[in-house]
Amino acid sequence: MALATLSGLKVVPSYRLVRPLVNKVHQLDGWFEHERNSYRCECKWRDDPVGYNDIVAFADKIDAAGVSALLVSINGFDDRALAKANELRGRIAFLFVDGNDLLHALEGRVSFSELMSIKRAYFDSRSKVYHPVTPVMESD
């Protein structure tokens, strides 16, 4: 969420989402707005890639019309996770950011806002949840 804040986006830090009718409380890593889209964000900082069950659990947290999902996983996503998110894409706009994408943003090769724009455009035009961002390096 720090990258979103540094990019000047409207941000809500980590919060709890209470759903009393189904007796659930969800912890979210944050929420932000980018180019008229709002995103609930989940970050996974662990050794293994995000899997199928992670997608199912996160999808349950995206219960508001018009809210998209940003899932950041330092070690990427396994094939079952990608398949499940692609299966749900008609209901939830999932955008995936992996460790390489994050590194590009942290090293200033692409801003967080540019990263989000590229990923959202790819999702909107191709209906794919994951697109690795490869910044164009300027030559001398």
What's this model's pTM, rounded to 2 decimal places? 0.87
The residues spanned by each domain of the chain are: 2-126
pLDDT tens for the chain, residues 1 to 140: 666 666 677 778 888 888 777 788 889 999 999 999 999 999 999 999 999 999 999 998 887 778 999 999 999 999 999 999 999 998 999 999 999 999 999 898 999 999 999 999 999 999 999 999 987 665 54
* Sheet with 37-44, edge to edge strand ranges: 11-19, 24-34, 37-44, 67-73, 94-98
Pick from 133, 73, 74: nearest CA to 105: 133
Contact 12, 31 (CB under 8 A): yes
Which fold does the domain 2-126 belong to in CATH?
Trna Endonuclease; Chain: A, domain 1 (3.40.1350)
User: Residue 65: its pLDDT value, please?
Assistant: 77
